[in-house]
Chain A
Amino acid sequence: MRNFRIWRGDASSGALEDYQVEVNEGEVVLDVLHRLQATQTPDLACRWNCKAGKCGSCSVEINGMPKLACMTRMSTFTADETITVTPLRTFPVIRDLVTDVSYNYVKAREMPAFSPPPDLAPGEYRMQQVDVERSQEFRKCIECFLCQNVCHVVRDHEENKLAFAGPRLFIRAAELDMHPLDARTDRKEHTRDRQGVGYCNITKCCTEVCPEHIKITDNAIIPMKERVVDRRYDPLVWLGRKIFRRDQVEQQAAAEDTTPAPASPETVTHRASPGQVNWAQEIQVPPAPAVGPDGRFAMSEVLIDRAGAPSPFGDDVTFPVDPEQLRYLHPRTDED
């Protein structure tokens, strides 16, 4: 018989409750939680799947430390020790040990996906083992979100959740930036501006709790910070930027960046049937204003190639636009 204190409750209220439960030799905390379900509290909510440390579902906090319940052996506690099991603190609680981890999925969705090289067909990819190894380490991630949970940037400061993506997504950024065939070139900027890598103060708790022993800080976050330095904090580049005002041009490019990267072959072949809107159709991005190679507007009217301001829709759009080219479906009122 061992003493367990388990947090029971939901979003409205909750408290640590004491349980006396039988523990057999060789068991892990998850086994004990299962025994509690089977014998005392059939409705004790906890997540689990593989029970082998491979799926990352059973993340909880055991004696205050974020851990996988399936990988925490009972033999690591002394016989008279009370074991406290609580839900992950950083995420909203659903019930008992189950939390709402959608923050992580939302952040994952904001991460631009792998961008395949446009000129290679399936089966033509050639990559050397040394080139894929760094990214492979990050792909070991089982998405248990212990790193996201332990990171004080969001754990202790809820308001940072908007601006900060978290260690799990930094290793994703590093994975893609180090991918030998990824075609995107703006990942460093994305990591700084959209993921908030600057919030990380490399106190390494993510690495400490990682059950897959991924060197999150040393191999992903710090390299990404250094890559950001390459682009953003090189004093000479910075000076040039300030003097020639390239900042503004780039911000504009970043704003346009919400359109997808090179369309994948599948989208191109996809055709809408008549009467339907072809949602997959690429809308032409209006061309950027005419700036010179130095990123600046022409200083003199003498040098500009037209009278008046450029068209806000781009110079090559003529009106009226062909309705087939629009991504707009006019609502029909005669139905239903």
Chain B
Amino acid sequence: MTTTGAESAPGPSKAQPAVTTRPRAAIAERTLRKDRWWLPPGIVAIGLAAWVTYATVRVFLKENYWVAEHHYLTPFYSPCVSLECIPEAAHFGRFVPDLPILPYAVISLPILLLFRLTCYYYRKAYYRSFWLSPPACAVPDGHARYTGETRFPLVLQNFHRYTFYLVVVITAINTWDMFLAFGGEAGFGIGLGNLVLLLNVIFLWLYTLSCHSCRHVTGGRLKHFSKHPIRYRWWTFVSRINPKHMQFAWISLGTLALVDAYVMAVSAGWITDLRFFN
């Protein structure tokens, strides 16, 4: 479906040696970097693999996701739409039949997955760590041929923006869950779980809003900021948090795992929630 530049670019004329076949410097070493360039991609690979393993296990565990007493719901099961969901935990109705291959939050999880998969930061992370393309700067790429994101399936990375729109809705649902958790069986109350949920929601929003697509749609696409002062202010805000997109990506992974582990632990009765009020 895509035509690459190779087909449409005008061929070089004799006066312009666009792509010369003149040889490069003959340097035997594939890279002359002496620092530990393999360390950052290695850490990223381990970190992402560990998180994905944890998340997969948890999503298919299908238990200990709801603390009935305090109305804590883990984001891994929100919104809980499967017919097998605990009714109180299903804030948006139950309408999906339960199949072993389907997680309970079958609507939100694929969206979240796609959002993070097409995120400009995660792309850098996994292209470097898993695809070795390239593993680090000035270190040779591990592939003989390379067409980048010009062809199927990687051309689909361009749809990041639409996953962003959907994730805004999911994050709003997570926020709603967080608010609901302040009202447990005994009415209004605050416990450690609430704070963990709150922390998670804050970082989810920071990660979501610092997205490059968000930066583009809020104002980046404009030619004249001066004619759109409000959108310019929005863009300025997003531009301020956007450079930390990578940090927010990792921190929000951490808070997601944390809040899920906490809810699981309380729900399973391994620990009791620390209550500050009621």
Contact = CB atoms under 8 A, between A and B. Distances in A.
Query: Do A and B actually bind?
Result: yes
Interface in B124-138: 124, 127-128, 133-134, 137-138
Report the contact-size class of chain A (Cβ under 8 Å from the partner): 35 or more
Interface string A199-222: 111111100110000010010001
Interface in A230-261: 230, 232-233, 235, 254, 258
Nearest to A82: B34
Interface residues of B, number: 64
B275 interface: no
A200 B141 contact: no
A102 B137 contact: no
B145 A157 contact: yes
A185 B120 CA distance: 26
Main secondary structure of the interface of B (DSSP, over half): loop
A92 B23 contact: yes
Contact of A201 (B17, B127, B159, B242): B127
B94 to A, nearest CB: 30
Contacts of B123: 201-202
Nearest to A128: B226
A93 B162 contact: no
A11 interface: yes
Given A64-B32, A93-B25, A156-B141, A102 B124 contact: no
A84 interface: yes
Given A63-B33, A198-B2, A198-B149, A131 B23 contact: no
Contacts of B53: none
B25 A194 contact: no
B212 interface: yes
A203 B124 contact: yes
B126 to A, nearest CB: 10
Contact of B120 (A14, A110, A153, A222): A222
Interface string B210-223: 00110111001101
Contact of A233 (B10, B35, B138, B159): B159
A89 B31 CA distance: 10
B16 A202 contact: no
A100 B4 contact: no
A288 interface: no
Contacts of B278: none
Interface in A157-171: 157-158, 160-164
A254 to B, nearest CB: 8
Interface string A36-77: 000000000000000000000000010111100000000000
Nearest to B225: A130
A235 B159 CA distance: 9
B187 interface: no
B46 interface: no
B25 A163 contact: no
B117 to A, nearest CB: 13
A235 B134 contact: no
Nearest to A205: B137
Nearest to A200: B148
Interface of B: 2-6, 8-10, 12, 16-20, 22-27, 29, 31-35, 120, 123-124, 127-128, 133-134, 137-138, 140-141, 143, 145-150, 154-155, 158-159, 161-162, 212-213, 215-217, 220-221, 223-226, 232, 242-243
Given A103-B20, A198-B155, A235-B159, 8 more contacts: A93-B23, A152-B133, A152-B146, A193-B3, A200-B148, A201-B124, A223-B220, A232-B158
